[in-house]
C-alpha cells in the first residue's frame, strides 16, 4: 500500500512539473516574431499629399500633414515567405 502512495505522489509531482513547463515555456515560443528588413529607397517613395499650416505662435512654426506611398519592387521574402509590395503612411 505504501508503494502505491509513493508511486501516486511521484506521478502527481511529475505531471505538475510537466504542466508547469508547458504553461511557462509555451507562450515564449508563441511570441517569436518574423523580422523584416525595413530599408526602402527614396526613389521608391512618393509624397502623395502634403498640407502645411502656420501655427502663428512663433514665426516659422508650422504643422505638416502628409501621405507617403512606398513601393518595394525587389523586396526579399520574410521568414513566412511573404513579400511587401507597397505601403502607405500618414504622418502628422
Could you read off the pLDDT of 37-52 as tens digits, one per residue? 677 788 999 999 999 9
pLDDT in the model for residue 76: 84
| pTM score over 0.75 | no
> Do residues 52 and 66 make contact, with C-beta atoms less than 8 angstroms apart?
no
Same domain? For 28 and 10 the reply is: yes
Radius of gyration of the chain (CA): 28
Residue of 36 and 18 predicted with greater confidence? 18
What is the tally of structural domains in the chain? 2
Same domain? For 15 and 44 the reply is: no
Mean pLDDT of 12-21: 73
Same domain? For 44 and 78 the reply is: yes
Same domain? For 25 and 57 the reply is: no
Domain boundaries, position 17: 1-32
Same domain? For 51 and 92 the reply is: yes
Same domain? For 55 and 89 the reply is: yes
Same domain? For 86 and 57 the reply is: yes
Amino acid at each position: 500500500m505504501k508503494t502505491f502512495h509513493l508511486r501516486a505522489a511521484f506521478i502527481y509531482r511529475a505531471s505538475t512539473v510537466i504542466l508547469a513547463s508547458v504553461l511557462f515555456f509555451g507562450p515564449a515560443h508563441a511570441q517569436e516574431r518574423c523580422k523584416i528588413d525595413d530599408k526602402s529607397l527614396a526613389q521608391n517613395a512618393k509624397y502623395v499629399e502634403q498640407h502645411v499650416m502656420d501655427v502663428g505662435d512663433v514665426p516659422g512654426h508650422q504643422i505638416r500633414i502628409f501621405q507617403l506611398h512606398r513601393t518595394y519592387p525587389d523586396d526579399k521574402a520574410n521568414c513566412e515567405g511573404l513579400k511587401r509590395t507597397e505601403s502607405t503612411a500618414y504622418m502628422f
